[in-house]
Amino acid sequence: MFKYFILKKTLLSIALLWVFILPAATQTAKVQNLPMVDYKRFHFGFTLGLHSQDFMLTPSEIPDNNGIVWRGDVAQPSPGFTVGIISDFRMGEYFNLRFVPTLNFGERQVSYSGFIDEVKVDEFSTSVLSTLVSMPFYVKYRSKRLNNYRPYLIAGGGAMIDLSRKKDMTLLLKPFDLYVEFGVGCDFYLPYFKLAPELRMCLGFNDMIERDRPAILNEDELKYTQAVKRLTSRLLVLTFNFE
């Protein structure tokens, strides 16, 4: 929880710097590339990027049949790949509505530590592969354009579906999640298109642990599911938008 609090504060600081302070530093700049591109009512593009998938786990503190209390945590996150399509509707001078369906390939390594009377006696790790289809709507707030760049804030949310579930996985997630996103970015106006690096944080709402596990024949393996009271998803996404 602490690392996400620090991450949120960092993103907020970057957002304030990006949207309000940087434009004020270049008031004398002149618009050069694509002077009319922001006046289109609709436009389209695509996005490519990297992301890091993570979990927020709350342990149940329920001992297994051997009296061991298992506590899970996400090991060092592995980078994943993101690709998507951008549909953008101009609502006004500073606001746009966007629909950006994306496909996200990645995995998370979950490590379990077993304790008896707070003494570590065992450990176990497992990999959770995910192919996530996300369908978010965003509201994009842009600062005033200066020369060939325009910083912005973005926020929204949507639904996410996992296509890679296998019922015999040690840790099985539910296929459907709802989430919110927020982030910062900047449109760079190049001679023939806009390029926008964008950093977003995605926070899931649902408890994603699937507790009905008829495919698990060895009841001892259920201890890793029973050890988690609640599990929610987190994604940190860095994309490059081409519009």
pTM across the whole model:
0.83
Average pLDDT rounded to a whole number, residues 163-178? 87
pLDDT category at 17 given cuts 50, 70, 90 is low
Report the candidate in 130, 131, 81 with the shortest Cα–Cα distance to residue 110: 130
pLDDT, tens digit, for every residue of 48-93? 999 998 888 888 888 888 888 988 888 776 789 999 999 999 999 9
More confident residue, 175 or 13: 175
Give pLDDT, residue 14: 53
pLDDT, tens digit, for every residue of 182-205? 999 999 999 999 999 999 999 999
Report CA dihedral (215, 220, 221, 225) to the nearest 10 degrees: 100
pLDDT, tens digit, for every residue of 119-165? 888 888 888 888 999 999 999 999 999 889 999 999 999 999 998 88
How many helices (H) and strands (E) the chain has is answered by: 3, 10
d(CA 71, CA 205): 21
d(CA 110, CA 196): 33
